[in-house]
Structures are given as C-alpha cells and as structure tokens.
Chain A
Amino acid sequence: MTNSIGEIRDAEFLFVIGSNTSEAHPIIAMEMKRAVKAGATMVVADPRSIWMTSISEKHLQLRPGTDVWLLNAMANVIVTEGLVDQEFIDENTEDWEKVRESVLRYTPEEAEKVTGISADDIRWTARKYATTEKAGIYYTLGITEHSHGTDNVYCLANLVLMTGHLGKPSSGMNPLRGQNNVQGANDAGATPVFLPGYQRVDDPEVHARYEKSWGVELSPVPGLNLNEMMKTVGDDIKGLFIMGEDIIISEPNVTKLEKGMNNLDFVVTQEPFHNETTRYADVIFPAAVFAEKEGTFTNSERRVQRVRKGVEPPGEARADWEIVQALANACGAGWNYTNTADVYDELARDADKFAGISHERLETEMHEGKTGIQWPCPDPEHPGTEYLHENGILRGKGLFVPVEYRPSMELEDEDYGLLLSTGRTLYHYNAATQTRREQGLHMKQSDAFVEIHPRDARKRGVSHGDMVRVSTRRGDVECRAIVSRQVRPGCIWMPLHFGEARANVLTNDAGDPITGTAEYKVCAAEIVKVADRSETKSGELFPGSYYQIEGPGYNVAEAPYGALKVAEEALRQPLSPDKPET
C-alpha cells in the first residue's frame, strides 16, 4: 500500500477492484464502511456481488478477465474529458504520451461490449475518481491472479499517475496483502530476485556487499519463482525445503504437481500440522505457531509489528527460526543467533529501508502507545513512513506503461461452458489447517462448495445443496452447490480452502509472464449434478450468509438456504391470520 489503513476512513472516493474486502480483509472493510458512512462514495468492480457492493454507489459487475478494458476505458474518459492532472504528470512521470495515445481506442462504448459494464457507468466512475481529491484504489488478488495480472496493475498505476492521486493522504494505490506477512517475507528477501530490502541479486554492488557481509560466495543469477519451481518439480527440481506452506492446496494445477512431487529425491517440511504436502515429506520438523514464538510480521501498509510468545509450543515443537538455524548448522553453517532480535538486527544492518527498526525500538514504542513502525525507516530517529511518495515519486519518476488487452488464457467453450473463479471466504483461511479446527467457522462453512447462478443451475438440474462435480481440463472435484445470485450468470466461484475439493485441481497454472503468478481467477469449467442434497458435516447448510439475505434480485420465496426455513414457513401461512393463535 502506498497509504495507510488509518487513512481509509477519511477517503472521499474508494475504487475497490478485485478485492472481496469484507471477507478477505474484514478490518480494512470496517474502515471503508466508516468512510462510506461519513459520506464517501464507493465503487466496487467485481464479477461477483459481494458484501461491499451492498454499500457501494455502483457495482461494476464486469466479465472476469476484462479488467484491462474497464481500466483503459476509464483512462480514456479521463484523457478525452481533460481530467488529467497535467502538473503532476509533468513533474513526476515519464512516458505519458504513450499511455495517452494507447487508451484512445478503448472507448467506453467498446468497453461496454467487452466488459458488460455500461458506458455511462464507466464514464461516471472515471469522472468521479479523477475529480475527487481523496480518491484511493484498493485491490488484491482479483487484479493480480491473472495471466495479465501485471497488465492490470500497470493500468491501475496509470490511472493513479494521470490523476495525481499519489503522495497524498487517503489516496494512492493500495494492494491489500493476502497473508499476514506477505510484505515481510518479500521484504526479508524470500524471493528469487531480491535480497532483503528489494536489492537485486544480480546487482554487482549488492552482490559484493552481501558476499562480504555473510562471508560466503553467492550466486548472482536470479532463481526460480514459486510458479516456475512448481512447474519443474520432479524434473529440474529434485529436492524441496518447505516451511509452513501447503503447496498441494495452494498451488494451481495440482494433479500435475503431485506427479512431480513423487519424483523428488528429498523433501523437508516444517509444519505445525500434517497437511496434503507433508504426505511427500522425508523429514518433518514440528513447528511452533505464531502464538508460541517471537518475531515480527509486516502488514499491508508496511508496518513492522511484533509477534510475541504467549504460550509454550506442544511437545518438542520449536519455532521455525530455531529449526532453520539448527538445519543450517547441521549443514555446516555455524550460525549463532540467540534470539529473533539478533536476526532482525542483521537484516536491518544490510538493508537501508529497515535500518531504523529493531525489536528493542518496537518494544519501547509499544509502551508509549504506538503500534509498529512503517518502513522506509532509515535510522533510529526516523518516525517511519505513513504514505509513500509524499515528496515526489520514491525512485525517480513514475513510469507510465501502455497496456493492451489480452484475453485470459482459457475462456468458456462448448465443453466447459462456465468461467470459474476462486477465492477466499470470511470463515476460513488459506488451506484452512487452522480455521477448520474451529467450531464456529466449521458451523458456518463445514463443506466445500461452488456458487452457481440460479439460471445456470436450472439448466443443469442442480438445486441448492446438491453434490456436484466441477471439472476443468485439468481435473475435477466434488462439492456442494450454493445456488446464488451472488455470481454472474455464466460464472461459478469456489473457495480455495477445502482439501477434499481442492479448487487448485481445477485452476490453470498458466502464469503471468512477469510475476509468475498463476491464473487462479479465470478458467473454463463445467458442472454436473452427482447426488441430491444430504447432511453436511456440521449439519448446517451454509447458514445466514449475507448474499442470501440481500443479494441483488433476491427473493424470499426463492430463498435457497436452510436458514430461511423460518421465513419460508411463515410465508406459506397467510400474513394476516384471521384468527390469532391460541
């Protein structure tokens, strides 16, 4: 995020795209709700009706994968109606002309044909965004998990730059991080290209500095990203070390990956629980969970915050950092970190962005009522950085990048007539190793499901709660159908959380050419009914979900879920009983 979570409540216009905020980032959603309550306008662009659309001024329900058309058409309106911030562009950016020209052919009328959003709504949104001072863009995996994810991000950046919505409070470009420490893991250098602090491994100065600091020879060649690694598991990759990640659940096109896993020489994992991936492990180390260890997480707004140990891990389980150190030493490293504060100090020593941060300082400041420090924070006196680019763009000039629309890799066809998207729900988290062990969450969503529009369900003879088989070119899974108007006709949606119906058996591992991120959000799929509704694991049939209560076009009489039994029964009776009950 260029800006901070605390600034959201003061925003005047929020453009939320590809983010099911109230489910994936409930607390950020609360800030957005607060802004809307205070009078801000929100526009949600999403193929699904989500909770946030219930408070948005407009819901741009675009066809999956057509974001580039939508965003370029918005840019087109901003350009053709003279709404650009020319002064900001002149002072802070490069290559404006390229984008200005490239968006001219993306007219709202043409965009309407591709995206399904009316030209009027595109115009209205573009004008409102461009002319509102405190206007922020909020997005997450709905933007990035496409074969053109990077294109989507460039389009958003173009909008931000052409309207000068950068370096000001409550504006900017705000990817909401999915995992608790995505930011921190990247910051710490757990990436094939960067050493800690986004210093390239192939930069000779960086390379030399780290060789000196660590006293060993380092490879100057960028490594494989996760998507690439997974594609070559069993071929080029012969051994894996995996810490705290269930790749069999979370990576796309799992059937292929599982074949590769069987061809590995050696697999080491560190996990608190057995999961799909530990089935392939040769050695498993019992790992502590967050409540059992010390360290830091860095959140979406670049805020480094402490993780503190509350309880002892069970049995012989140890914190991951201790395990990694012991393993490195078993391989001859000779490390000697006595605690995580030592580790952080070493990290900060060689990476300027974090140089002013230490466990000690975080501890002191907590007692002063502060909560963490936002990097960049180059020295111990520096207060941290609330929003980026306050005095012009951080690294030189902001670069405009013209983007042309490329369709998603796989679209619906005769054999697979539906478009499948995947995502998260409020009640589970990732592979759900933690959340499925929690009673209440289990009651809310005990079983895997797929959402399907009533029209598509009718065509296929599928009723609410039926068991269905969802198939794509890569595999199939069985789960329950939720018949819901939350999805567009022609689209289906599945959560990724359930091991017994792994959405990633279905998803396409075709990746974005730059980031390697797979296209989790669009692929062709089909559904057939396999069995009638039966008892779920919790005995509950997805009770009380918001979309079932007030989805667009929703009608009580057609209400698809068990929780509405009371209302359904009531409706069968005349509403004005002639005789009172006795």
Chain B
Amino acid sequence: MSDKSTIKLNGREYDFAPGETVLDVAARHDIYIPTLCHDPRLDAVGACRTCLVEIDGWRRLAPACATQLEPGMEIASENERIDRHRQTLLSLYMTDHPTDPAAAEPGAPNELHAMASHYEAPMDWGYMESLRDARPDDRNPYVLFEPDLCILCARCTRYCDEIEGVNAITLAGRASETTISTVDKLSLMDTSCELCGGCIDVCPTGAMGKKMPLVRGDKPERELDKVRTTCNFCGVGCQLDLNVDRDARDGQGRIVKVTSPPVGTTTNDGNLCVKGRFAYDFVHHEDRITTPLIRGEDGELHPASWDEALQAAASGLLAVKDKHGKDSLGFVSSSRCTMEENFLVQKMSRAVFGTNNVHQCAAT
C-alpha cells in the first residue's frame, strides 16, 4: 500500500480523488472499459457486468463502475480472463437479443451490437425468444417499448426515478420474464409519466424507441445531420441536436427527431423535457405562413411579393409617424426571437423611427 492516493491500472500509476471509481479514472485517461448500464447521472448498479475488471487480491472480478478506489489497488482492465469474460458475456447477451441490427429502431445505434462486434464475441450460441412482456395497447404517442431489444440495464427506470423523478416505469416481474412496465401495465398516458423521453435517450439498444419514424422519416441516425442548437421554449437554454434529413422537402431538410447532446457537455446535462424533445411538428406544419400578406381594401389578407409588402409596411409606419409623431409608434419585440433580432428591432425603433417605445414580454 502506498500512502499517496494512487492506483495502478494495467501496470501504470494514476492519481485518484476520494470516492472515485475505477471507471472514473479510466475514463479520465481514455482507457476504454465497456459499459451498458452506466450513466454518469445515475447511481452505479453494476448490473450489466460488461465493465468487470480484475483487482489484485480479489477473488472475483469487480464492476469498474461501482468499485471505489483505494490507495494501492492494482487493477487490470485487459487480460485473458477479462477478454474471455467480455466475449462470453456478450455471446450470452446475444442469445437473448435480435442479431439483426435492422430490427432496432431506425436511428438509435445499438450499443450492444457495436460492443459484441468490437470484441468479436461469437454469435453462434443460438437464440431464445424473449419472454419479456410488452404493453402493446399503450396509446402514448411517443415512447415505444420493444421488449425483444431490452437488455434490462435499467437505465430507463433509474433515469425515470433518479433524474426525471416521476417514477412512471419500473422493472417488473422476475427472472427471464423481467421487463419494463408501468403500474398495472397502464398506458404511460395514465401514469405519472411526463413524456420527457429520457427513457428513449438513455436506452443503449433502442428498446425504448420513438413511435414517430413513420411521420418524420425513417433514415437511420447515422445518415442524419446533427445540428446543435438552443431550445426555443423556456429560459433554461437547453442544447439539443436537430437530427436533419437533408434530402427531405426537396433538399430543404426535415427535422426527423431531436436528441440530447452527450451527458456532461451542456447545461442540460443530456436532459430534455417533453417540449424540447418532441414538440417539433410545428416547424414543418402546413399552417405556416409562407408568403408576405397585405390586407386589401376588402379587409382580407392577400399574398404579396416581398417588395410590395416591405413598401406597404414602410409607408404605413412612416405615415403614422408623420401624422401622429414618432412616439405614436410602438415596437413590440420578442423574447422568443434571437438576441440579434431584438437588437435590430430596438435599433430600428430608435435609429429609424426615433422612439424608445420598444419592449417585449419580459416580465421576469
């Protein structure tokens, strides 16, 4: 035992802070240890068993995610025993999991598949039909649970409990029949679920999938462009990734879905709410106004060219100014629009029309 807070991992010495786990230190030094049930936001449960490592003096392999470091520990994350462990574990997983990646939700990459092929785990052990119950009658519009793909890592149920805090879903049943359920197998609509979709986001295999691909396209996620932007709902400023199908709408692009940026990289820490994750139907909605409109003599709105509309608007506003004075104009800017747009509106109000009558709905 050395007195300093150091450990050895694969023969090299590393410092660690009290409370840190094997996985923490490995991650900091880019040493890859596979995980399926781990999420830095959640308490470690060590249930998926992919992260087992060997610790000198310990008879049994230990989960890297849940094993707190003690000074002097000597740890191996790569050796023959661990190789065999990973391979046989992943082979076993695959007897309980569709081998065809296309069976997964269009989009979400299947971490189990990727891991099994990374470790070249034999896939010829056979296949057993899943005994996990689904909830086929769940009428909720977003979350589709496909039990065949579920590996019971419980990221979703733990997220629902520990982060979202609504406890709408739970591990239910036992043994091979263990599944993800709601109370009395009710629809999510009839539970405490707030439809945040966090379960979808944390699922490593796509068992918790989105119900919407038919509406918004079915390209797999890897063929979509991810555009990082800021949510347009409340004032938290969540970062989100618009997953855009560039070819859709004759090359104008379509938002297929929204995903969270990785945990730990943004203010929202990988979390989104129901609006941030799902409320995008409005963007491509048929009710959008698509041309400038001018109200005619008949009192109705008529489509117009940009030039016509700009001229009409300019002369209308200037006429009010000329007739009633500059302070007879009011400029209502918008806290929904960008900083730049607000800047230009106030500048227009002040510099072009000469009035400080500019404000927006800014009650806080």
Direct contact of A and B (CB under 8 A): yes
Q: Which residues 385-406 of A sit at the B interface, judged by CB distance below 8 A?
A: none
**At the interface, yes or no: B20 with Cβ under 8 Å from chain A?**
no
Contact of B283 among A196, A281, A292, A325 (CB under 8 A): A292
B294 to A283, Cβ gap below 8 A? yes
The smallest C-beta distance from A32 to any residue of chain B, in angstroms, reads 9
A141 to B267, Cβ gap below 8 A? no
A185 to B306, Cβ gap below 8 A? no
**Interface size counted on chain B using CB atoms at 8 A:** 127
B330 to A300, Cβ gap below 8 A? no
Chain B residues near A305 (CB-CB < 8 A): 230, 237, 239
| Per-residue A-contact encoding for B329-342, CB less than 8 Å = 1, 0 else | 11111111111111
A441 to B342, CA, bound (A): 29
Chain A residue with minimal CB distance to B139?
A: A443
A305 to B236, CA, bound (A): 11
Chain B residues near A320 (CB-CB < 8 A): 334, 337-338, 341
**At the interface, yes or no: A377 with Cβ under 8 Å from chain B?**
no
B288 to A283, Cβ gap below 8 A? no
Chain B residue with minimal CB distance to A32?
A: B165
**At the interface, yes or no: B323 with Cβ under 8 Å from chain A?**
yes
B330 to A241, Cβ gap below 8 A? yes
- Looking at the complex, which of A69-77, A112-120, A428-436, A475-483 is the stretch in contact with chain B? A428-436
User: Is the interface on chain A under 10, 10 to 19, 20 to 34, or 35 or more residues?
Assistant: 35 or more
B351 to A218, Cβ gap below 8 A? yes
- Looking at the complex, which of B69-77, B105-113, B187-195 is the stretch in contact with chain A? B187-195
Q: Which residues 43-68 of B sit at the A interface, judged by CB distance below 8 A?
A: none
B323 to A316, Cβ gap below 8 A? no
The smallest C-beta distance from B326 to any residue of chain A, in angstroms, reads 7
**At the interface, yes or no: A94 with Cβ under 8 Å from chain B?**
no
Chain A residues near B362 (CB-CB < 8 A): 179, 182, 185-186, 190-191, 226
B283 to A327, Cβ gap below 8 A? no
Known A190-B343, A272-B288, A310-B253; 11 more pairs at CB < 8 Å: A175-B364, A195-B350, A281-B295, A284-B289, A290-B229, A298-B339, A308-B228, A320-B341, A331-B352, A335-B344, A371-B267
| Per-residue B-contact encoding for A306-318, CB less than 8 Å = 1, 0 else | 1111111011111
Chain A residues near B352 (CB-CB < 8 A): 328, 331-333
B364 to A176, Cβ gap below 8 A? yes
Q: Which residues 310-351 of B sit at the A interface, judged by CB distance below 8 A?
A: 310-314, 316-321, 323-324, 326-351
A184 to B343, CA, bound (A): 9
What are 7 pairs between A and B in contact, CB < 8 Å? A30-B271, A179-B235, A240-B330, A286-B291, A317-B289, A327-B310, A540-B189
Known: A192-B357, A224-B359, A543-B190. A321 touches B340 (CB 8 A): yes
Residues of B within 8 A of A (CB): 41, 139-142, 162-166, 184, 186-196, 225, 227-239, 242, 244, 249, 252-255, 261, 265-269, 271-276, 278-285, 287-295, 301, 306, 309-314, 316-321, 323-324, 326-364
A564 to B190, CA, bound (A): 7
**At the interface, yes or no: A338 with Cβ under 8 Å from chain B?**
no
B317 to A438, Cβ gap below 8 A? no
B255 to A286, Cβ gap below 8 A? no
B191 to A544, Cβ gap below 8 A? yes
B311 to A544, Cβ gap below 8 A? no
A443 to B189, CA, bound (A): 8
Chain B residues near A185 (CB-CB < 8 A): 333-335, 337, 339, 342, 360, 362
Contact of A429 among B190, B233, B237 (CB under 8 A): B233
**At the interface, yes or no: A39 with Cβ under 8 Å from chain B?**
no
B164 to A283, Cβ gap below 8 A? no
Contact of B274 among A311, A319, A426, A515 (CB under 8 A): A426
Chain B residues near A295 (CB-CB < 8 A): 337-341
Q: Which residues 157-192 of A sit at the B interface, judged by CB distance below 8 A?
A: 175-192
Known: A218-B351, A239-B321, A291-B242. A282 touches B294 (CB 8 A): yes
The smallest C-beta distance from B166 to any residue of chain A, in angstroms, reads 7
Residue among A225, A239, A435, A438 with the highest chain B CB neighbour number at 10 A: A239
**At the interface, yes or no: A201 with Cβ under 8 Å from chain B?**
yes
A371 to B152, CA, bound (A): 33
The smallest C-beta distance from B351 to any residue of chain A, in angstroms, reads 5
Chain B residues near A308 (CB-CB < 8 A): 227-229
A213 to B320, CA, bound (A): 27
A243 to B360, CA, bound (A): 9
Contact of B287 among A224, A274, A284 (CB under 8 A): A274
Known: A180-B231, A180-B235, A185-B334. A296 touches B340 (CB 8 A): yes
| Per-residue B-contact encoding for A399-437, CB less than 8 Å = 1, 0 else | 000000000000000000000000000110110011101
Chain B residue with minimal CB distance to A320?
A: B341
A316 to B290, Cβ gap below 8 A? yes
**At the interface, yes or no: A44 with Cβ under 8 Å from chain B?**
no
Known: A180-B237, A190-B345, A438-B279. A226 touches B142 (CB 8 A): no
